[in-house]
Structure 1
Amino acid sequence: MEYKEKLRSTKKTKLALLLTTTMLFAGLQAGCGNMASNETKTPKVDSSASQGTEGKGNTPADPTAYPRMLKDEMGNEVTLPASPAKIFAPNLEDTLVALGVAPVMQWSTGSRPKEYLQDQLKDVPTITFAGGLPPEPEAVMAFEPDLILLHNSYHMDSGVYDKYKKIAPTYVFKHANADLESSVRIVGDLLGKSAEAEQALQNYKAYVETAKKELAPHIQDKKAAIIRFNGKGMFFIKYDFFSGYVLTHELGFTPSQVVTGGDVNLSLESLPDLDADYIFLINDAGTGDAHEKEMTESPVWKSMDAVKNGRTFKVEGDHWLSGGLIAHMKVIDDVKGLIAK
């Protein structure tokens, strides 16, 4: 009897173990089935489907995908259907050349384009802005641009933007020359030349730093002013942009209080108040000959310390009246050649 009881107990133990194993196996199968089911139901993000569409899925939009939609500095919506290839950028040709791009046409006064860029742009046709007036849309349309860049907000106020945007996608800057670093990056981004833009800016900054070290002994605590002559009279170049920006913000000349605080117009009567150690004179394409002669031959001019000390310089070239990395470097070269002899 004792043997039979032990046998029954053993059989019950084996049966319980078998049932437990069977239930555990069934549970594992069910669990695996649920995992497989859950994996099948989990949606996968198609990265290609989200390109060019911001906020869709978890993949960020590709800024180089087309069509590309953005806003310019004036808040206008700009749509680029494809990568721009034919660019019209009056007064921004310097930036295009710095990025290795030739415009489809170049700005001209009516008699000449920007002379300092003609080594690179001599084969690019000109389009006239004679009298400061932009060309008619029909003249622009003839060159079939696929992107137009307008360098300041005046083109919004004057109605030029409304006309040109009907020709091609048009981007308007507030004032491209007032923040050259930003505008170079924006143009680089629009043209798919961001790497080239960064390299151009790095090269320019290195150029400036080298020049500052070389010129420091000559310009430390010295004030500078730039006087422009044209057919309308005599004017100061302000320090916000062009060569005025180069002298003060880049090279380190101290601004003249007369130039920063007064009117841009200059008269012989106000000349004695000019507090400048160095004075640079620009005759705009020879149109200011009469006014330049009147000033430089006057007794008040000859009595000024800058004149007596031989620190007045007549500078040539439209790069002094232009904004851009290339123009600025040419101004720096001129200053080095004049005062660091």
Structure 2
Amino acid sequence: MFQKYSFLRKRLKASGLSLLIIGMALSLLSACGSTKAENPAEPSQTAAAVEESQAPEASEAPEASVEVSATKTVTDEQGHELVIPAKPLKVFAPYMEDSLLSLGVTPIAQWGNSGKGQAYLQDRLKGVPTVEFSGGRPPSPEQIMDFEPDLIILHTAHYADDGIYEQYSKIAPTYVFVNAAGDLNSSITKLGELLGKPAEAKQALGDYEQKKEEAKAKLAPVADGKKAVLINFNAKGMYLIGGNYFGGYVLSHELGIGKSKLVEEKNSVDASLEILPELDADFIFTIDYAGSGAANIKELTDNAIWRSMPAVKAGHVYAVSDEYWTGGGLIAYSKIIDDIVRFLAP
């Protein structure tokens, strides 16, 4: 207002107008200022027009400020209540790398055995360090601490035993699944919630479901009413994999192929030549785990009882990859489905 006043005074002096006019102008300006002071919430019509002209378009208006919590509280499948980041950035979930990658998440470290991660995932996990799980035992807390995770996820309750949960939970919030591989629909959905990736989880599950249904339709003419068994060979011997884990889960739960009575109620069964007559299976899938089971495979296949089995005589014995047939995620399961369709319904 003072700038306006100075400008007006100079102009009036230059034009030779009388002091009376100057006084009148000052009075008008004063009245204007007084009106604004009395009604601060009511801008003048001119000011309102300026504000309106400067206001952004409706589509450009900033969204209402919503306070988003940086953390959330969840309860794991063992009843532990934990506070986790709303969107964790540094996740350690050993043997769930498959599921993480399905959601577009790269872990800070990966499960390893003798320095090697799951081979079928390595094209997507280049540069991600391995953490040793030799013998099935989780690594020491000191090893995990070096990676500074903001969330640890254990895919099976076995990994939380013997005080491991208590030790890991001091490093970072630790979520424990009872058996994440036993129900991928549930575990992938939960993983999406934990990682702030619900849409990605829904999309991944939808794509897999479509693949599975297409495979079941192709297999129906040859597999309906039939049974399958998965035998894993290693240096110690051989055992039958039941229907709750790995390739056994895909065969029975995902594709609906029947299970041998030997594994109907069990996750796995130590096998021997003596149980061969009880091995009721129309299709037999075999795994040579890490190349260590060659001697035991030879012992079995040289046996006369084995050669007399209907599945063997029909040529329905299939050697499959240990890389993903012992995996527990959508990527592995998709590869297993491809194998089964290729073998049984080419």
TM-score of Structure 1 vs Structure 2, range by shorter chain: 0.7 to 0.9
Equivalent runs, 1:95-106 vs 2, <5 Å: 95-106=99-110
- Asked if 1:298 is matched to 2:303, the reply is yes
C-alpha distance in 2, partners of 1:155/1:130? 13
| Partner residue in 2 for 1:131 | 135
Aligned CA distance change for structure 1 residues 111 and 271 (closer, same or farther; 3 Å):
farther
| Partner residue in 1 for 2:92 | 88
| Partner residue in 2 for 1:264 | 269
Task: Give 1:77 shift.
Answer: 1.5
| Partner residue in 2 for 1:314 | 319
| Partner residue in 1 for 2:116 | 112
Equivalent residue of 1:306, what SS?
A: helix
- Structure 2 gaps of 5+ residues are 1-63
| Partner residue in 2 for 1:179 | 183
C-alpha distance in 1, partners of 2:91/2:340? 33
Contact 1:104 1:143 in 2 (8 A): yes
Contact 2:110 2:128 in 1 (8 A): yes
Equivalent runs, 1:26-65 vs 2, <5 Å: 65=69
Task: Please point out which of 332, 339, 343 is paired with 1:334.
Answer: 339
| Partner residue in 2 for 1:212 | 216
| Partner residue in 2 for 1:37 | none
Equivalent residue of 1:121, what SS?
A: coil
Letter in 2 for 1:278: F
Letter in 2 for 1:337: R
Contact 1:153 1:174 in 2 (8 A): yes
Task: Give 1:340 shift.
Answer: 1.5
Equivalent residue of 2:270, what SS?
A: coil
Contact 2:247 2:336 in 1 (8 A): yes
Aligned length: 282
Contact 2:137 2:159 in 1 (8 A): no
Q: What TM-score do you get using the length of structure 2 for normalisation?
A: 0.78
C-alpha distance in 2, partners of 1:48/1:208? 43
Q: Deviations over 1:152-199 (max 9, x none)?
A: 112333211111111111111111111211111111111110000011
Task: Please point out which of 119, 122, 128 is paired with 2:126.
Answer: 122
CA RMSD, 1 decimal: 1.7
Letter in 2 for 1:319: Y
C-alpha distance in 1, partners of 2:283/2:74? 45
Task: Give 1:265 shift.
Answer: 0.9
| Partner residue in 1 for 2:242 | 238
Q: Deviations over 1:132-167 (max 9, x none)?
A: 221111111111111100111123332111111111
Q: What TM-score do you get using the length of structure 1 for normalisation?
A: 0.79
C-alpha distance in 1, partners of 2:102/2:164? 26
- Asked if 1:325 is matched to 2:330, the reply is yes
C-alpha distance in 1, partners of 2:159/2:216? 36
Equivalent residue of 1:270, what SS?
A: helix
Contact 1:116 1:317 in 2 (8 A): no
Equivalent residue of 1:140, what SS?
A: helix
Equivalent residue of 1:265, what SS?
A: strand
Contact 2:165 2:174 in 1 (8 A): yes
C-alpha distance in 2, partners of 1:87/1:97? 12
- Asked if 1:222 is matched to 2:226, the reply is yes
Q: Which moved more, 1:309-318 or 1:75-84?
A: 75-84
Q: Which moved more, 1:123-132 or 1:206-215?
A: 123-132
Letter in 2 for 1:102: T
Equivalent residue of 2:269, what SS?
A: coil
| Partner residue in 1 for 2:151 | 147
Q: Deviations over 1:282-308 (max 9, x none)?
A: 010111111111101111111111111
